[in-house]
Amino acid sequence: MMFSPWKEGRPAIVVGLMSGTSLDGIDAAIVRIKGSGLEASVELLHYYSKPYEPELRQRLRDLCSEEKSNSAAVCSMNAYLGYQFGAAVLEAVADAGMRIDEVDLVSSHGQTIWHQPVPEQGAPYSVASTLQIGDISVIAKRTGKLTVGDFRPADMAVGGQGAPFAPYGDLILFRHPERGRLLQNIGGIGNCTALPAGADPSDVLAFDTGPGNMIMDAVAHMLTEGRLSYDEGGTWAARGNPDQVLLREMMAHPYFQAEPPKSTGRELFGHNYAVSFLEQARLRSLSDEDTMATAAAFTAHSIADSYVNYVFPHHRMDEVIVTGGGAHNKTLLSMLGELLPEQKVMTSKALGFDDDAKEAVIFALLGNDFMLGVPNNLPAATGAHKPTVMGKLALP
């Protein structure tokens, strides 16, 4: 660390790692960062994606399930994913035509297997908590690089929900002096960041909108008995029509009536919810196409209704910028456009920013700020009592 960029005042080369609730793989963004906090300047040098193999994806699904998870499996997978994340760093650097000694830092989100922002009522020892696995010591030893990770618990320790984190990076990357922008990430879970024109940190409104790809992916997996893990491009849903009665029942879920700040995950909208949804679709004798269309409409309506109820009453929004895996679902984007006629719906690619890279870039920013001792949470988004420095450091 003696000759680190943070001591010398030069730009840092950081590899940000992200693996989200979609359980689809590891995203690695190699980023050059100058400065810190809201004044940081960011250049994406390379983006690399390493898909999870189907068997690993299923094992991770099992770990996210109360019925199928166990301590031994969590313990082993924590180390195993550390090796996988480390390998992804080395592969990303090689894919970029770079050398690992050009990298200053690795910053990893880890793989969430449980997120409990509100204590379980009546359960002894239950507190707000979260668990991301993929041991950072393994990553550090595998890559030979300083590694920062395990960000979320620090925000929870000061009263936050440990999510969403994207708003911090959204503010740095996408704020505009004249246009109000809604950044909508659609991974397994959907999360939005409302940036009024000329926003500063106190103006930001952010929260999880509900399920993103999670229900759609689970339904596609169940309908095909595991042959498909998602509805590519939304082509299956495009052939069907949403069932309005079932859609209204789904939108009556208490999560959508809760005021922000709020966050969610597989605990509410995971496998059990998807099974229940499919059972209701079959009771209504829906075709597979109509079932997929209803699942897609559920995500679209949960996003649009969140804006109408919690964003538009407070801020004027001109653009909706979609990132994450959902940015590739043309049917979902079309539904959002119909539900939001007064906003321009686009993907971040239209602004020259890779749709899939954003969250990995944001974790590179979070790691860079950790190294400089700069608070890197956004209390307006997470509900924390105060700004704090999030993260833990592992030495190579």
E-assigned strand segments in 218-366: 319-323, 344-347
> Could you tell me which residues come within 8 angstroms of residue 105 by beta carbon, excluding any fewer than 6 positions away?
12, 13, 14, 15, 145, 146, 147, 148, 367, 368, 371
Question: Is 352 within any annotated ligand binding site?
Answer: no
Question: Is 26 within any annotated ligand binding site?
Answer: yes
Question: Is 302 within any annotated ligand binding site?
Answer: no
Question: Is 306 within any annotated ligand binding site?
Answer: no
In angstroms, rounded to a whole number, what is the distance separating the alpha carbons of residues 93 and 313?
45
Dihedral over alpha carbons 49, 53, 56, 61 (to 10 degrees): 80
Question: Is 20 within any annotated ligand binding site?
Answer: yes
In angstroms, rounded to a whole number, what is the distance separating the alpha carbons of residues 122 and 299?
31
In angstroms, rounded to a whole number, what is the distance separating the alpha carbons of residues 370 and 314?
32
Q: Are 11 and 255 in contact, with CB atoms under 8 Å apart?
A: no
CA distances from 187 to 25, 191, 286, 329 (A): 12, 8, 26, 11
Residue type, 209: T
Q: Dihedrals φ, ψ of 86, to 5°? A: -60, -45
Q: What is the DSSP letter of 221?
A: H
Closest-CA residue to 343 (of 238, 138, 192, 163): 192
Helix or strand or coil: residue 112? Answer: strand
Question: Is 25 within any annotated ligand binding site?
Answer: yes
Question: Is 107 within any annotated ligand binding site?
Answer: no
Strand order in the sheet with 344-347: 205-211, 189-195, 181-186, 319-323, 344-347
Q: What is the DSSP letter of 233?
A: G
In angstroms, rounded to a whole number, what is the distance separating the alpha carbons of residues 104 and 5?
7
Question: Is 183 within any annotated ligand binding site?
Answer: no
Write out the binding residues: 20-27
Write out the binding residues for ATP: 20-27
